[in-house]
Copies of this chain bind each other. A is one copy, B any other.
């Protein structure tokens, strides 16, 4: 069984295929092509690369695996340069293509390499982590880090397809699964009430990686992200900024802990912070805060920040966020849905910080 979600972007439209047969789509997609470069972590490529190679072989496409390291350190221009040089030495042409097989680091880095090699070759994203499946693999944002900041260099380069087989999550460490669930909760809080109920009622099956529940959860998140991307491909209208729900505080907490708290965990706390802040600003009823906290907690995610963080430090980190030009910007739920709120009342901010265990 596979679900299909179309990302409507005119000539750059593509499908996200979710389900146990999703990777078979590679055979149809690349039939008639000459060569495909598969980019992956070395160990992942060795352990599971065949799920990508077999449909390519059936399509009669030459393919080769190009390894890269894991972790944010590998998400660099140095890796992009090495990949492009390796592509060139292998003889990859502009009419050939790249498959990014891995988590967010591989997807962002290989996607960016594909976007600049010969000024752009086709890329298909095959995400292998929950975080990448529900978020980073969809929408065409690619890029790498600089010492000065994350994702400072990149491109909008839409994939030709995103192929998601939730069975690839079988070997994902529990903590990485939970991190993905942080982003899943975000989509629920963005207004998908059916997803909220699903997460409330089936959290045990989800944490046990029940394939049918995973597929439904991933498809719902993909559909939500696809709608936002279709409305605001290049983050120009502000609509795509709604995806930053929970991320203003989340990023700051992630940085303040020296990344001891992982992205998805920090986002979970950031989502709880955002609902507290929205409630303190009387944008949502207090009951919504309780429900969000229970949802986050029920998925094994933290609802408070680690001890020892200070309000002033987090505010300073938020102010340095690359997208802000001075103002302290949040995206918050409210009576009209998710909206951008600039420089909210300081007392409300302090109250929300206190609710997640951060004091002055």
Contacts and interface: CB of A to CB of B under 8 A. Distances in A.
A119 B118 CA distance: 17
| Number of copies of this chain that the complex holds | 2
Interface in A62-121: 77, 80-81, 84-85, 88-89, 93-95, 112, 115-120
A325 B62 CA distance: 15
A141 interface: yes
A237 to B, nearest CB: 14
Interface stretch (A38-46, A148-156, A213-221): A148-156
B117 A153 contact: yes
Interface size band for A: 20 to 34
A146 B94 contact: no
Given A94-B323, A148-B89, A143 B119 contact: yes
A147 B85 contact: yes
Interface string A299-320: 0000000000000000000000
A235 to B, nearest CB: 8
Contact of A152 (B88, B155, B156, B235): B88
Contacts of A209: none
Given A85-B146, A85-B148, A119-B141, 10 more contacts: A34-B325, A81-B153, A89-B148, A95-B325, A115-B155, A116-B116, A116-B155, A119-B154, A119-B155, A120-B155
22 contacts: A77-B81, A84-B152, A85-B147, A88-B148, A88-B149, A93-B325, A94-B322, A94-B323, A95-B325, A112-B116, A116-B116, A116-B143, A116-B153, A116-B154, A118-B322, A119-B141, A119-B143, A119-B154, A119-B234, A119-B235, A120-B155, A120-B234
